[in-house]
Structure 1
């Protein structure tokens, strides 16, 4: 649903962050992209891919752990040992009580995100950055606390199916906007090149987002935690993301003006964009706009030497 009254919502009253993203890769299955850049190369393509790779490590770890497949990250070039999980959950067994439907969604998305890690590493070759330390435990607790104004403590996305869907919502919308925002900086626009492949991954991330938003909308009236409904928790997460990504209002919950809002868009039914800096604000759970680490990346992103330039865009 489009929002023709941007800036009029009350979302700005929330100052905090619950972030991420996974923010989608900037590439699909083409393994010769970097080698075929055109002469007008602005030097950002590889940096964008490595920024995306950091985020794909995060998304892959989140979903793989949810279905008990975290160890698969190691064979793809990541590191399950560098993933902090909530106490009592090791990512070797699926979230208890997952329905067959949600388990199927989670397994498919986990495989997609793992494939993104593999293909970006393949394309970048020796230039691919290593997986940073990922926080899927305390960072979620901090996000839940911020989103609820302190009403929700110790939020754990692996505690049950509903909490898992809330955790996924934190990531998926950010991935779509991050991916779209990166497209403007890609040089290679020929058939089968960077931009075309980026559009392909954007579509996959949007499918993921739509699936998660639909599942949450179906449960919108259900009590979630601390006296809040699913609809209210989702809106609070949206509000918090919106508080750090710029002066406008580019984030939406699963309802708007009393109606369903499965597809978040602007007034022209176009998906929003976020810059790398705006994405970083979200994944770092940062309200200052200047953090270089924190949140889901406690030690920061793995830098290929161009991260500072990318965040300045």
Structure 2
């Protein structure tokens, strides 16, 4: 019995030690980040920028959760809705196992994003959002310049859903890049950096998924996956009205990395850093109106938060 007890005790000791190490975590002095004595965790000016981002985080959360699971925030985390209305037209997509697994993870990640932003700078109610197939069909019709027949349906199959996903997360990415230099608090900077890392990862996964299928014709249309991404990116550039800040998965060499590639798995500028957009640019795109003062598109009654509401009140 002695050898068995010795082995058992050794394992128990190792578990206890590992548990202690884990429990130390950030509470350990050698794991804590130090800041200048006069540094502030959150500046008043930071709050509006991060609350503005909640509009896109809500859009992603409900789109991903509904697409993968068939239900959204009202079921998964109703406390984060803060009384906002349920999205219009959201439903479960016909996804294969791989795509559903990816989108399920994305959906739960967005729940975490909403929770950490709202617990850090306070929240805004979920805005009314239009996630209907009809709304997506309008976006793709506008991108191609004519009505697709049959109308584009993001919930039809995995490829259609990922093309629809191409429309949304990238706007959060460029929005965070644009907000970054305007933040002052160390807590809000840390928050934005963490959010940007995951949003960038989501966009990269979506782009790689589509890049692997770049030459595949999207059924029942005659356009390839690459054409779809190019058309959507061109539409967003037109609506935002601030030059090229959006690129499809295949580009001419003058837009490729160091002007030497036509592959474009990641969208970036001449120096291969992410593009940035202002709140006004983002609203022009997600409203589909090309005007931050005129709601529509994904937000029929406009986005929430001080920045978005100020645009609506001061046309």
Question: After TM superposition, is the score higher than 0.5?
Answer: yes
- Computed over aligned residues only, the root mean square deviation of the Cα atoms, in angstroms, reads 2.6
Change in CA separation of 1:311 and 1:63 when aligned onto 2, cut-off 3 Å? farther
User: Which structure has greater helix proportion?
Assistant: 2
CA distance in 2, matches of 1:186, 1:307: 20
Deviates most, 139-148 or 56-65: 139-148
Count matched residues. 263
Q: Which has the larger radius of gyration?
A: 2
CA positional deviation for 1:136: 0.5
Answering whether residue 277 of structure 2 is matched by residue 281 of structure 1, we say: no
Go from structure 1 to structure 2 and tell me whether the alpha carbon gap of 1:261 and 1:201 turns closer, same or farther (over 3 Å shift).
same
Mapped partners of 1:268, 1:73: distance in 2? 40
SS at match of 1:228: coil
Confirm or deny: 8 A CA contact 2:283 2:292 kept in the other structure: no
1:37 CA drift (Å): 7.7
TM-score by length of 1: 0.77
Q: Which residue of 1 is the match for residue 135 of structure 2?
A: 139
The residue that corresponds to 1:83 in the other structure is 87
Give the match for residue 95 of structure 1: 93
Closer, same or farther in 2 for the Cα pair 1:249/1:73, shift >3 Å?
same
- Structure 1 distance, partners of 2:126, 2:196, is 22
C-alpha contact 1:239 1:251 (8 A) present in aligned 2:
yes
1 CA distance for matches of 2:189 and 2:177? 10
Q: Deviations over 1:201-256 (max 9, x none)?
A: 10100100000000101111111143111111111001000112233211100012
Higher relative contact order (CA 8 A, sep 6+): 1
The 1:259–1:50 alpha-carbon spacing in structure 2 relative to 1, beyond 3 Å, is same
Give how far 1:310 is off.
11
Counterparts of residues 134-173 of structure 1 (less than 5 Å): 134-137=129-132, 138-152=134-148, 154-173=151-170
What is the alpha-carbon distance in structure 2 between the residues aligned to residue 306 and residue 166 of structure 1? 27
Contact 1:47 1:310 in 2 (8 A): no
What's the offset of the Cα at 1:73?
Answer: 4.7
Instruction: Pick the structure with more strand per residue.
Output: 1
Task: Give the whole-Å Cα distance in 2 for the aligned partners of 1:296 and 1:59.
Answer: 11
Instruction: Find the counterpart in structure 2 of residue 308 from structure 1.
Output: 310
**Aligned equivalents of 1:306 and 1:290: distance in 2?**
8
Q: Cα distance 1:156–1:39, how it changes in 2: closer, same or farther (>3 A)?
A: closer
Cα offset, 1:155, TM superposition: 2.1
| Whole-Å separation in 1 of the counterparts to 2:54 and 2:312 | 14
